[in-house]
């Protein structure tokens, strides 16, 4: 039986609580408290999972500036940390540079793809996931969760981001879905491409090793206690 893993997702970390201006920005103290509490529950045998992996989506440079030096103190290993990188943003203000990505890769931090431009690979309309239009033009699309990508535009995000990362950083085996959204076409294109081993979502389940990988999104809209309680109730899909 595959080992059961909890995958949690952070975005941007800050030092001052006043800087938490969106739900995806967390104070480092809250982030470390969440990780510490999860580790305590895990070591005490009070969880359904035995491993913890931590994702940092979007490639914000707060990972390097704030979190990186705390990894050992939190009883984490570098190989259990994953950076989901938007290739268009590498080296831009507020984001990790290519030099930093190469350094982190050498330190056994996992680099994964988060698309070329962080365009959603599937979108919702009135709460229903829409089908992906067939055909289209093989091109980049702007960042966002509202633009409906065609099949060719989905191919572009999957293939070109991996190609860029492999040329500049090294081997990549995982695509992290922007906004966590996908549909049947997304999965079919992912399987046909055969360039990644894993397609990572924001589905709230524990990870049993399937190639459609669930992850729990940490936001600032819930207290530490609420987050820990929800995590401890997660089950396998």
Contacts 24+ apart (CB under 8 A), 193-198: 193/155, 193/158, 193/159, 195/158, 195/159, 195/162, 196/113, 196/158, 196/162, 196/172, 197/173, 198/173, 198/174
How many CB atoms are closer than 10 A to CB 77?
Answer: 11
pLDDT band at 223 (very low <50, low <70, confident <90, very high): very high
Could you tell me the two tokens for 75? 């009883």
Stretch 76-89: mean pLDDT, rounded? 98
Judge whether 92 and 58 are in contact, CB under 8 Å.
Answer: no
How many CB atoms are closer than 10 A to CB 151?
Answer: 17
Residue 1 predicted with pLDDT over 70 = no
| Helix, coil or strand: residue 45 | coil
- What does residue 144 show for φ and ψ, rounded to 5 degrees? 145, 165
Question: Per residue in 127-138, pLDDT tens?
Answer: 999 999 999 999
52 - beta bridge partners? 6
Q: For CA atoms 127, 132, 137, 139, give the dihedral sign.
A: positive
Question: Per residue in 153-200, pLDDT tens?
Answer: 999 999 999 999 999 999 999 999 999 999 999 999 999 999 999 999
Q: How far apart are CA 65 and CA 131, in angstroms?
A: 40
The DSSP bridge pattern shows strands 124-125 and 128-129 to be antiparallel
């Amino acid at each position: 039986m595959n080992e059961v893993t909890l995958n949690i997702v952070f975005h941007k970390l800050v030092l001052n609580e006043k800087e938490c201006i969106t739900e995806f920005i967390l104070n480092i103290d809250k982030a470390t408290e969440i990780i510490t509490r999860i580790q305590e529950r895990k070591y005490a045998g009070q969880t359904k999972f035995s491993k913890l992996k931590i994702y940092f989506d979007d490639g914000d440079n707060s990972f390097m500036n704030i979190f990186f030096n705390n990894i050992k103190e939190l009883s984490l290993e570098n190989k259990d940390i994953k950076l989901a990188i938007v290739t268009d943003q590498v080296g831009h203000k507020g984001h990790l540079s290519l030099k930093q990505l190469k350094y982190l890769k050498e330190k056994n931090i996992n680099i994964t793809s988060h698309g070329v431009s962080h365009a959603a690979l599937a979108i919702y309309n009135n709460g229903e996931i829409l089908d992906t239009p067939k055909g289209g033009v093989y091109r980049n699309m702007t960042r966002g969760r509202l633009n409906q990508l065609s099949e060719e535009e989905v191919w572009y995000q999957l293939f070109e981001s991996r190609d860029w990362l492999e040329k500049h950083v090294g081997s990549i085996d995982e695509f992290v879905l922007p906004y966590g959204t996908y549909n049947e076409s997304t999965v079919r294109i992912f399987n046909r491409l055969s360039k990644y081993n894993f397609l990572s979502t924001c589905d709230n389940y524990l990870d049993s090793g399937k190639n459609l990988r669930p992850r729990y999104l940490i936001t600032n809209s819930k207290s530490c206690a609420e987050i820990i309680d929800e995590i401890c109730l997660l089950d396998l899909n």
